Chain A
Amino acid sequence: MYGLKTDWEEEGSDCRYFTLQHYEGITPRWCPGCGDLAVLTAVQRLCRDEQLPPEKTVFVSGIGCSSRFPHYMKTYGFHGLHGRALPVACGIRSRRPDLHVFVATGDGDCISIGAGHWVHAIHYNMKLVVMLLDNNVYGLTKNQTSPTSARGRKTNTHPRGGFFDPINPVQTTLGIANASFVAQTVDWNPPHLLATLKAAHEHPGLAFVRILQRCPHFATPDFEALQRDRSKLLLLTHPDGIELDDAAKATFEKQESHDPSDLNRARELAGLEDAVVLGLFYRNPDVDRYDLHTAEGVGTTRTDKLTAVQAELDRYRI
Chain B
Amino acid sequence: MKREESTLNAASAGGGDARPVEGDVGLRAAEACVREVSSQIVEIVSDSGEGAQTAGQLFGTVCAKMGNGIWTVEIIPAEIEPPSRSRAGASGIRIRFGTDPVTNMGDGADAVVALNEQVLYSRIDQGGLRPGTLLLIDQKWASSPDPRIAKAYEKAVEDFYQRGYDVRQIPIEEQTATFTDDPHRGKNMWVAGLLCALYSRDLDIALDEVQKVFERRRKGREVIARNHEILRGGYAWGLENLDTRFDVPSRPRTESMVVMNGNAAIATGSMAAGIELCSMYPITPATSASHYLAADFHKVGGFVHQAEDEIAALGFAIGASYAGKTALSITSGPGMALKTELVGLASMAEIPLVIVDVQRGGPATGLPTKVEQGDLLCSLFGQPGDAPKIVMAPSSIEECFHFMITARKLAESFRMPVLVLSDANLATGQAPFPRPEPSEEWLSPPVDQSRWPDGVPAYAWDSQTGLSERPVPGQIGGAYVLTGLAHDEHSRVAYESAINQRGIRMRSRKLAALQKTLRPPQIHGDEEGDLLVVGWGSTRGAIEEAVDRIRRDGSAVSSMCLRFLSPMEPGLKQIFGRFRRVMTVEINYSDDPADPLIDDETRRYAQLAWLLRSRTLVDVDCWSKVPGQPLPPGVIEAAIRERLEGVK
Contact = CB atoms under 8 A, between A and B. Distances in A.
Interface of A: 25-26, 53-56, 58-60, 70-71, 73-81, 84, 86-96, 98-99, 116-117, 119-120, 293-300, 302-306, 308-313, 316-318
Interface string B294-322: 00101111110101110111111111111
Given A79-B482, A96-B323, 18 more contacts: A55-B479, A58-B473, A73-B481, A76-B479, A76-B480, A77-B480, A81-B315, A88-B316, A94-B320, A95-B324, A300-B300, A302-B440, A312-B299, A316-B268, A317-B256, A317-B257, A318-B65, A318-B258
A25 B296 contact: no
Nearest to B315: A87
B420 interface: no
- What is the interface residue range for chain B against chain A? 35 or more
B477 A95 contact: no
Contact of A88 (B65, B301, B318): B318
A84 B342 contact: yes
A305 B319 contact: no
B299 A117 contact: no
A77 B481 contact: yes
Contact of A318 (B257, B300, B305, B315): B257
Contacts of B471: 76
B630 to A, nearest CB: 22
B322 A313 contact: no
A318 B482 contact: no
B406 interface: no
Contacts of A309: 268, 271-272, 300, 438
Contacts of B260: 316
Given A76-B473, A81-B341, A117-B312, A90 B438 contact: no
B483 interface: yes
Contacts of A313: 258, 268, 272, 435-436, 438
Given A84-B315, A297-B276, A313-B268, A305 B443 contact: yes
14 contacts: A53-B476, A55-B475, A55-B476, A76-B478, A76-B480, A84-B312, A88-B316, A94-B277, A96-B473, A295-B303, A297-B276, A297-B301, A305-B300, A316-B258
Contact of B308 (A93, A117, A304): A117
- Name which of A54, A70, A73, A316 has the most chain B CB atoms within 10 A of its CB: A316
A76 B483 CA distance: 11
A89 B473 CA distance: 13
B354 to A, nearest CB: 14
Interface in B109-124: none
Shortest 3 CB-CB contacts between residues of A and residues of B = A91-B319, A300-B301, A297-B301
B411 interface: no
Given A55-B478, A313-B258, A318-B257, A120 B308 contact: yes
Given A91-B318, A312-B271, A71 B493 contact: yes
B323 A80 contact: no
Contacts of B256: 317
Nearest to A311: B299
Nearest to B475: A55
Nearest to B299: A308
B578 interface: no
Given A96-B473, A318-B258, A88 B322 contact: yes
B443 A306 contact: yes
Contacts of B311: 84, 87
B390 interface: no
Contact of B317 (A25, A59, A74, A91): A91
A87 B274 contact: no
Interface string B460-493: 0000000000010111111111111100000011
Residue of A88, A304, A306 contacting most chain B CB atoms (<10 Å) = A88
A116 B341 CA distance: 17
A316 B259 contact: yes
A306 B273 CA distance: 10
A124 to B, nearest CB: 9
B279 interface: yes
A99 B320 contact: no
B345 interface: yes
A297 B65 CA distance: 34
B370 interface: no
A306 B440 contact: yes
Nearest to B477: A55
B258 A88 contact: no
B408 interface: no
A58 to B, nearest CB: 5
Given A55-B478, A305-B274, A92 B323 contact: yes
A308 B321 CA distance: 23
Given A78-B482, A81-B342, A92 B320 contact: yes
Contacts of A56: 473-474
Contacts of A88: 315-316, 318-319, 322
A296 B303 contact: yes
A28 to B, nearest CB: 13
A160 to B, nearest CB: 32
Given A89-B319, A302-B440, A313-B435, A94 B305 contact: yes
Contacts of B258: 313, 316-318
Nearest to B264: A316
B482 A81 contact: no
A213 to B, nearest CB: 21
B512 to A, nearest CB: 27
B409 interface: no
A310 B256 CA distance: 13
